[in-house]
Chain A
């Protein structure tokens, strides 16, 4: 099995994506609280749901980015062959 090297740039990029997912999850929670006239305390009491949503959103972005990367790589390889 080959060693996998995670560069500092890659780590920073993934942390930025994770932070983005966390902000988006919080934004959804705030939108929900306003829409359903729920108490502001749910900003704290729903924290577990926000964290779960952060992980889900991050994994979704990872999936989408992976698919995009795969398609782009395949297209690039086809162009290079020609």
Chain B
């Protein structure tokens, strides 16, 4: 078995250094799932065998990280599309190839599966995997409906297996660090979270055979996906409830196809507003016909603002300039104010010119996917499910599915009691 590679040692050391407080209480309070790394030093001679179901672009992206982890053996892959199989074999040449995921699940040498298939298949595959005694890492969104997500969650609970969802921001050092800062009150009371994801492309993949259009471009058809809400919103809504330590209780919004009228069935323009019990709001909006603002989660506190995608935070009150500069500025203003110019008689409240500070002292470098997969491998090897990771995944999925329901039905949708877990501000009727 391999020892830790130099690269891996350096990565983990840098991760802990970036967080600035390995094992610190505040850090574990804000992100308790990090305890999964507590025994990483003891498991460096162990290895888990993982099968990947769905080796399209996302599946191969995940495989790229796992192939570099000496604690993971990519033992099997499963897909029905030959170009995807070929791409996956390029990453894991020794992996056994299956065309039916049930055969992969029957392989007793496989410890865990990573599910990266189109959304409509997650539920069946995840449930079958738990029933087959496998640990599961399922890409978000967990299920096509909230009922499916709930069913997956309870299969996980009843099976005693390990369960992660593809919420990689939970392992992104800048998010972990900034959540600790938010929870310590550094940015005051958080009263609003604005999230958005803008792109300017049709979201289509090239299709060689027209018969495969719906299979390759599954994100565009409601039979397989719920579009922007299930493919993008999931990450950002989870950040909002992580920051507020609360689950919103209702959602309203509107969706439409306003630009890409090319036969797709999912919206290309959505806006949702989630409302928490105390009136605090979280919005998600997305259009795919303009990319100027990119993606961001803006967490607005009474003392400051956080923009974790940029890796920055900004305080409301910035320290004044040195007195010398203030005086020079005053003299300069007096001199130029004496010269009459036409202008408004009032000053509009324009955005603050505040360059802010980097959360980790430098530009962000990773998005947490590598560490999320490392954490999954650790959990599979140590047989310890990290606290709250499954619940965070469940609620992220539930929120974007409720958002989609609000868009479809054009009404306010309340979080159904029957799908609540005993988590944060929610009480489960079942527990």
Contact = CB atoms under 8 A, between A and B. Distances in A.
Interface string A41-82: 010011001100100000000000000000000000000000
Contact of A45 (B320, B322, B327): B322
B322 to A, nearest CB: 5
B323 interface: yes
Contacts of B326: 32, 36
User: What size tier do the contact residues of chain A reach?
Assistant: 10 to 19
Chain A interface SS verdict (over half): helix
Contacts of A46: 322-325
Interface in A11-38: 28-29, 31-33, 35-36, 38
A53 B322 CA distance: 14
B321 to A, nearest CB: 9
A30 to B, nearest CB: 9
A78 B301 CA distance: 73
A27 B323 CA distance: 12
Interface in B66-83: none
| Chain B contact surface mostly | helix
Contacts of A49: 322, 324-325
A28 B322 contact: no
A28 B325 CA distance: 11
Interface in B321-353: 322-327
Interface residues of B, number: 7
A33 to B, nearest CB: 5
Contacts of A28: 324, 327
A29 B325 CA distance: 9
Q: Considering residues B323, B324, B327, which has the most beta carbons from chain A within 10 angstroms of its beta carbon?
A: B324
A47 to B, nearest CB: 10
Nearest to A31: B327
A42 B327 contact: no
A35 B327 contact: yes
B228 to A, nearest CB: 50
A34 to B, nearest CB: 8
A28 B326 CA distance: 11
A17 B68 CA distance: 69
Interface string B205-237: 000000000000000000000000000000000
Contacts of B322: 32, 38, 42, 45-46, 49
A29 B326 CA distance: 10
Contacts of A35: 323, 327
A73 B324 CA distance: 38
A50 B327 CA distance: 12
Nearest to A45: B322
B359 to A, nearest CB: 26
Nearest to B327: A32
A17 B337 CA distance: 32
Contacts of A42: 322-324
A36 B327 CA distance: 8
A39 B123 CA distance: 63
Interface in B300-335: 320, 322-327
A31 B330 CA distance: 13
A50 B323 CA distance: 11
Nearest to B326: A36
Contacts of B325: 46, 49
B59 to A, nearest CB: 55
Contacts of B320: 36, 38
Contacts of A31: 327
A40 B325 CA distance: 15
A33 B326 CA distance: 10
Nearest to A33: B323
A31 B326 CA distance: 11
B318 to A, nearest CB: 15
Nearest to B322: A46
B167 to A, nearest CB: 44
15 contacts: A28-B324, A29-B323, A31-B327, A32-B323, A32-B327, A33-B323, A35-B323, A36-B320, A36-B327, A38-B322, A42-B322, A42-B324, A46-B323, A46-B324, A50-B324
Given A36-B320, A36-B327, 9 more contacts: A28-B327, A29-B323, A32-B323, A35-B327, A36-B326, A38-B322, A42-B323, A49-B324, A50-B324
